[in-house]
């Protein structure tokens, strides 16, 4: 063997759906649904390794994980008006609905719920 060339051999391994789910931190049914429907187009497809046996290559799952953004990673964009501050992207906070337990007013029904007896209230 030529000693000037170095080869790196990655250990390839077939993973079951439960191993893939544990590896990526998702539920088994999510992995099965993605494989069945293609809901997540960049997720690796399983390989048929037996009559009814499907497995994923560990290297493909690892590559997919490296392409994903880290949880909690925040993308920043310039603030409006050209200031040097940055603003987080994301959804605006929903307004809280007042409830009697919090000291707020309760909502009234849009229309009466029953017959004439309830209208007299």
User: What is the overall mean pLDDT for the chain?
Assistant: 73
pLDDT per residue over 8-31, tens digit each?
556 789 999 999 999 999 999 999
User: Does pTM top 0.75 for this prediction?
Assistant: no
What lies within 8 Å, CB to CB, of 14 at 6+ separation is 47, 49, 55, 56, 57, 58
Q: Does the pLDDT value for residue 89 go beyond 80?
A: no
* Contact status, residue 62 vs residue 56, Cβ threshold 8 Å: no
Strands of the sheet containing 47-48, edge to edge, are 14-15, 54-57, 47-48
CATH of region 14-67:
1.10.1660
Among 11, 12, 39, 13, CA closest to 26: 39
d(CA 62, CA 68): 10
Q: In terms of pLDDT, which residue wins out, 5 or 98?
A: 5
Q: In terms of pLDDT, which residue wins out, 20 or 78?
A: 20
Q: Beta-strand (E) ranges in the chain?
A: 14-15, 47-48, 54-57, 76-78, 86-88
* Contact status, residue 10 vs residue 59, Cβ threshold 8 Å: yes
DSSP helix/strand/coil, 86: strand
């Amino acid at each position: 063997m030529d000693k000037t060339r170095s080869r790196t051999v990655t250990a390839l391994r077939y993973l079951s759906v439960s191993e893939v789910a544990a590896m990526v931190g998702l539920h088994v049914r999510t992995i099965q649904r993605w494989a069945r429907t293609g809901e997540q187009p960049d997720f690796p497809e399983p390989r048929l390794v037996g009559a009814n046996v499907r497995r994923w290559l560990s290297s493909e799952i690892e590559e997919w994980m490296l392409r994903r953004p880290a949880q909690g990673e925040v993308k920043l964009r310039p603030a409006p008006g050209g200031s040097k501050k940055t603003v987080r992207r994301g959804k605006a906070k929903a307004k809280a609905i007042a409830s009697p337990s919090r000291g707020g007013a309760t909502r009234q029904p849009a229309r009466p719920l029953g017959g004439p007896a309830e209208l007299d209230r």
